[in-house]
C-alpha cells in the first residue's frame, strides 16, 4: 500500500514523466493526490435518449451500435472514424479524429453509454469525441469523477492514479473532533475521501462532499480567527477622540453620508483598546480615498505617522498628489516612496520617515523593505486589497508595534462572501456615489460593428478626449484563434483604423518603468489611445478618458468588466463603455446585456457569482487566503455560518489550539494557510 508522503512518481501508473505533469497541478505526494477532489461527476444512472439529449451541453446518451463506417482521410490530413448508434427515438453519429483506437472495441448490436456534447440537426444528431463506457463499467461505477486536469494529463488518467492511491486514504489523519462528526452526522476523513473519489451512488458522494466542505470552511475560519486574534493581543497606537469638523469643512464639496459613516467607524476603532483591522469596501468612484484621508488626518492630529501602500507606482504617485492637497494645509507632510526614485530622493525620503517629519508615506512594495524604518507608525493603509495577500498586510503592520490597519477594495463582494474572504477584518461599505458623477453608457456590439465604432472613437479624440482599448491576451495563441492579442491588435487594428492618432501599447511583459512611463504619457494627454491588457484595471484616474473598449468581453467576469468600465466617467464629459464579443452562447450574451443595464457594482458581483461561480469571480489567488478545493461561496453559505459558529466556540475554550486533542486541527490550519503564505 502506498504511503501518504510517498512521491507521486512511485505510484502505479505515474512514473517520472507524469509526475512532472502532476506537479503543475500542485500534486507531489500521494496525500496531495487524495486531496485533489473531483470537480463534478458524469452521472450514468440517468442517460438521455437520442431524441431528448440537449444540444451543446455535456450529457450522457445510451444507444446501441449499428455499424462502424470505414475510416477516411478528410481536409487537413486528419483521419475520421465514424460509428452509427441508435435507440428507439433516433440515430446518433459518433465521430473521432485521428483516434481509430477509440472505436475498435465497439461491437454492433451491443449497447453503450456515450458522454459528450450533442450537435448536428434534430433529424441527424452527432457527438464528437465521446467518452464510451460499457454497461458493466457503469454498473461497477455509476458516477464517473471528473478532475481538474492539465495538458498531457487528462481527467481519465488522474482517475486511474487516484484509484491506485485510494488504499492510502485509510492513513489520513482526521482533524475534526469526534464530537463534531457525531453532532452533524458526518463520515470520518478516510471514508469521506473514498466517498468523494469513488462513490457508490449520489447519496454517498453528497455525504462525502458535505463533510469535506464543512472541514474546509471550519479550518479556514479557525485560521482567520487566529490571525485576527493574533493582531488583537496587544493594544494599537493609542488615540483619543477629536472633532472631525475642521477636516470636513476644508473640503470643496460635501462628503456623502456613507463616507461620514465609514470615517466614524474608523475613528471609533482608532480610539479603541485593540488595533483596528478594517476593510473599507466601495464601488468604483465611491470616494474611498477621501475616507482614507480623514483617517490619516485623525491619526496625524493624534501625533502618529500613517503609511499607504498602493499596488503600482503610477497609482502611488496619484494618491500622493491627491492626499497632499487634502492634508498638507493641516501641516501633514506627504512623502512618496517608490522603486523608480533616484538614490538621492530615496535617501531624503527614508530620513524623513525615520525622524517623523513624514506624516504620511505613500508608496508601493518599496515601503515593505527592511530599509524603511518609521519613527511612530500608527496607521497602515493598503489600497486595492485584492492585489495584496494577508502576509503582505502583515509585513506593513510589522513596521510598528501593532499599528491600526485599514485595507481598501474596489471589488464589490456580497456581504456573506466578504465575511469569508475578509473574516479577519471588520467591514465598512461605501454604498453611495458622490453627487455629480455621470452614468457611463454601456453598449454591447459584435465585431461587425468594429469599423463603425472606430469612427466614433475618432470623433471622441477629435473632441479632445482619450480612449482605452483592452484586449484579453498579450500574444496570439494558436489554440485560441478567436482571442484578441494586444500586440497584434495594436498594429493591425488600432493603429490601422486610427491613422495619425497617438496610440500607446501597455501590457504585463513590459518592464515596470516602461509601464509607468506609458501610463504617465497617457495621463498627461500625450497619447490619444491606450491599447492595453487588464494592467490598467487598478484605480488610475484619467478624467479626460471618455471611452473604454473591451475586446473579447466574454473572456472577463462581470466584476472585472465593471472595474474596467470604472476607468472612464471620471470627468465632466459623457462617457461610454463598449463591450465587443462574437460569442454565440446566449447565456454569455445575457451576462453582457445585464452589465449594459446595471451600474451597481454589488449587483454585478452577485450576478457574477451566481452565473459564473467563485473560481471565475475571485480568480486563482483568493486575496491572500487559501484556495478553496470543494466549498462553493454561493451554495455553501449555510455551512459557512455553522462552521464559523463552531470555530468561535472552539477558540473560546482553546484560544490557541494548544490542547493536545486539537493538535491535528492546528496542524491542518497551518497546512491550509501555508499554501497562501498567510501564516508566514
Confidence (pLDDT) at 292: 97
Is it the case that residue 616 has pLDDT exceeding 60?
no
Confidence (pLDDT) at 307: 93
Confidence (pLDDT) at 497: 94
Q: Where are the alpha helices (DSSP H) in 554-658?
A: 558-565, 586-596, 601-612, 614-618, 637-653
3-state secondary structure of 508: coil
User: What HEC string does 294-307 produce?
Assistant: HHHHHHHHCCCEEE
Within 8 A by CB and 6+ apart from 109, the residues are 64, 65
Q: How confident is the model at residue 375 (pLDDT cuts 50, 70, 90)?
A: very high
**Mean pLDDT, residues 206-224:** 91
- Angle in degrees, CA 632, 637, 640, rounded to 5: 95
DSSP secondary structure letters along 392-430: HHHHHHTTSSS-EEEEEE-S---HHHHHHHTTTSEEEEE
Confidence (pLDDT) at 424: 57
> Which tens digits make up the pLDDT trace of 407-440?
888 766 665 556 555 565 778 888 887 776 778 9
Buried b / exposed e over 86-124, threshold 16 CB at 10 Å, is: ebeebbbbbbbeeeeebbeebeeeeebbbbbbbeeeeee
Cell numbers 452565473: residue: 611
What is the C-alpha to C-alpha distance for residues 672 and 652, in angstroms, rounded to an integer?
A: 21
Confidence (pLDDT) at 609: 66
**Ranges 321-335, 381-395, 590-604: which has the least confidence:** 381-395
Per the CB < 8 A criterion, the answer to whether 379 and 299 are in contact is yes
Confidence (pLDDT) at 513: 78
Per the CB < 8 A criterion, the answer to whether 596 and 570 are in contact is no
> Which tens digits make up the pLDDT trace of 566-589?
889 888 889 999 999 998 888 888
**Ranges 203-212, 451-460, 478-487: which has the least confidence:** 478-487
Confidence (pLDDT) at 370: 77
Q: How confident is the model at residue 623 (pLDDT cuts 50, 70, 90)?
A: very low
**Which domains does the chain carry?**
1-45+142-172 (1.10.150), 46-140 (2.40.50.140), 245-430 (3.40.50.300), 440-598 (3.40.50.300)
Per the CB < 8 A criterion, the answer to whether 1 and 190 are in contact is no
pLDDT over 70, % of the chain: 87
Is it the case that residue 120 has pLDDT exceeding 70?
yes
Is it the case that residue 269 has pLDDT exceeding 70?
yes
Confidence (pLDDT) at 479: 38
Is it the case that residue 614 has pLDDT exceeding 70?
no
> Which tens digits make up the pLDDT trace of 316-326?
888 999 999 99
Is it the case that residue 387 has pLDDT exceeding 60?
no
Reading the block at residue 348, the C-alpha cell is: 531624503
Is it the case that residue 397 has pLDDT exceeding 70?
no
Q: How confident is the model at residue 273 (pLDDT cuts 50, 70, 90)?
A: confident
What is the C-alpha to C-alpha distance for residues 217 and 628, in angstroms, rounded to an integer?
A: 8
> Which tens digits make up the pLDDT trace of 447-469?
999 999 999 999 999 999 999 99
Q: How far is CA 661 from CA 229, 475, 654, in A?
A: 21, 54, 10
* pLDDT, mean over the chain: 85
Confidence (pLDDT) at 165: 94
Within 8 A by CB and 6+ apart from 647, the residues are 218, 221, 222, 225
178, containing H or E segment: helix 178-183
Within 8 A by CB and 6+ apart from 503, the residues are 490, 494, 495, 527, 528, 529, 530, 531
**Ranges 101-115, 469-483, 517-531: which has the least confidence:** 469-483
Q: How far is CA 121 from CA 51, 91, 616, in A?
A: 11, 11, 32
Is it the case that residue 389 has pLDDT exceeding 70?
no
Amino acid at each position: 500500500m502506498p504511503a501518504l508522503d510517498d512521491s507521486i512518481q512511485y505510484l502505479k501508473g505515474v512514473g517520472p514523466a507524469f509526475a512532472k505533469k502532476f506537479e503543475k497541478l500542485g500534486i507531489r505526494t500521494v496525500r496531495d493526490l487524495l486531496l485533489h477532489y473531483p470537480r463534478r461527476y458524469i452521472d450514468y444512472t440517468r442517460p438521455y435518449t437520442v431524441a431528448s439529449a440537449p444540444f451543446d451541453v455535456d450529457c450522457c446518451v445510451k444507444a446501441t451500435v449499428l455499424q462502424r463506417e470505414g475510416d477516411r482521410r478528410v481536409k487537413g490530413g486528419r483521419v475520421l472514424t465514424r460509428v452509427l448508434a441508435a435507440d428507439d427515438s433516433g440515430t446518433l453519429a459518433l465521430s473521432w479524429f485521428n483516434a481509430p483506437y477509440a472505436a475498435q472495441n465497439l461491437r454492433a448490436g451491443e449497447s453503450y453509454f456515450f458522454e459528450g456534447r450533442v450537435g448536428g440537426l434534430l433529424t441527424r444528431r452527432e457527438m464528437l469525441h465521446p467518452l464510451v463506457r460499457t454497461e458493466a463499467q457503469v454498473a461497477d461505477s455509476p458516477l464517473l469523477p471528473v478532475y481538474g486536469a492539465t495538458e498531457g494529463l487528462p481527467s481519465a488518467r488522474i482517475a486511474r492514479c487516484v484509484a491506485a492511491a485510494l488504499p492510502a486514504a485509510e492513513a489520513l489523519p482526521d482533524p475534526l473532533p469526534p464530537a463534531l462528526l457525531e453532532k452533524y452526522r458526518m463520515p470520518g476523513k478516510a471514508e469521506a475521501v473514498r466517498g468523494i473519489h469513488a462513490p457508490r451512488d449520489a447519496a454517498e458522494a453528497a455525504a462525502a462532499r458535505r463533510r469535506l466542505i464543512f472541514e474546509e470552511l471550519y479550518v479556514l475560519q479557525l485560521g482567520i480567527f487566529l490571525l485576527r486574534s493574533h493582531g488583537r493581543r496587544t493594544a494599537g497606537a493609542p488615540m483619543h477622540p477629536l472633532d472631525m469638523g475642521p477636516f470636513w469643512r476644508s473640503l470643496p464639496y460635501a462628503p456623502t453620508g456613507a463616507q461620514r459613516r465609514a470615517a466614524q467607524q474608523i475613528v471609533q476603532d482608532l480610539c479603541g483598546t485593540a488595533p483596528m483591522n478594517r476593510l473599507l469596501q466601495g464601488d468604483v468612484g465611491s470616494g474611498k480615498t477621501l475616507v482614507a484621508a480623514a483617517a490619516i488626518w485623525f491619526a496625524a492630529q493624534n501625533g502618529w505617522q500613517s503609511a499607504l501602500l498602493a499596488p503600482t507606482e503610477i497609482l502611488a504617485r496619484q494618491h500622493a498628489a491627491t492626499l497632499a492637497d487634502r492634508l498638507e494645509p493641516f501641516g501633514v507632510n506627504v512623502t512618496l516612496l517608490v522603486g523608480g526614485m533616484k538614490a538621492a530622493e530615496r535617501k531624503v525620503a527614508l530620513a524623513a520617515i525615520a525622524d517623523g517629519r513624514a506624516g504620511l508615506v505613500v508608496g508601493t512594495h518599496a515601503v515593505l523593505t527592511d530599509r524603511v524604518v518609521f519613527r511612530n507608525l500608527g496607521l497602515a493603509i493598503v489600497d486595492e486589497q485584492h492585489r495584496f495577500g494577508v502576509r503582505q498586510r502583515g509585513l506593513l503592520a510589522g513596521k510598528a508595534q501593532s499599528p491600526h490597519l485599514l485595507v481598501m477594495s474596489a471589488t464589490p463582494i456580497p456581504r456573506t462572501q466578504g465575511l469569508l474572504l475578509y473574516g479577519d477584518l471588520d467591514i465598512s461599505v461605501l454604498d453611495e456615489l458622490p453627487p455629480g458623477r455621470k452614468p457611463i453608457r454601456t453598449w454591447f456590439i459584435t465585431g461587425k460593428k468594429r469599423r463603425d465604432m472606430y469612427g466614433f472613437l475618432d470623433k471622441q479624440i477629435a473632441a479632445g478626449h482619450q480612449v482605452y482599448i483592452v484586449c484579453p491576451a498579450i500574444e496570439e495563441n494558436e489554440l485560441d484563434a478567436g482571442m484578441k492579442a494586444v500586440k497584434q491588435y495594436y498594429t493591425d487594428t488600432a493603429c490601422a483604423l486610427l491613422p495619425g492618432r497617438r496610440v500607446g501599447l501597455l501590457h504585463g511583459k513590459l518592464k515596470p518603468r516602461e509601464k509607468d512611463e506609458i501610463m504617465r504619457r497617457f495621463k498627461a494627454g500625450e497619447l490619444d489611445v491606450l491599447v492595453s491588457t487588464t494592467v490598467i484595471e487598478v484605480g488610475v484616474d484619467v478624467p479626460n478618458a471618455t471611452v473604454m473598449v473591451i475586446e473579447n468581453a466574454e473572456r472577463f467576469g462581470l466584476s472585472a468588466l465593471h472595474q474596467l468600465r470604472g476607468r472612464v466617467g471620471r470627468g465632466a464629459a459623457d462617457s461610454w463603455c463598449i463591450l465587443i464579443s462574437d460569442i454565440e452562447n446566449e447565456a454569455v450574451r445575457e451576462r453582457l446585456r445585464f452589465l449594459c443595464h446595471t451600474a451597481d457594482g454589488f449587483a454585478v458581483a452577485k450576478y457574477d457569482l451566481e452565473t459564473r461561480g467563485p473560481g471565475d469571480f475571485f480568480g486563482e489567488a483568493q486575496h491572500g487566503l487559501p484556495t478553496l478545493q470543494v466549498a462553493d461561496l454561493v451554495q455553501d453559505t449555510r455551512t459557512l455560518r455553522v462552521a464559523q459558529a463552531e470555530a468561535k466556540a472552539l477558540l473560546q475554550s482553546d484560544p490557541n489550539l494548544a490542547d493536545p486533542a486539537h493538535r491535528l486541527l492546528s496542524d491542518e490550519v497551518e497546512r491550509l494557510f501555508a499554501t497562501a503564505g498567510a501564516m508566514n
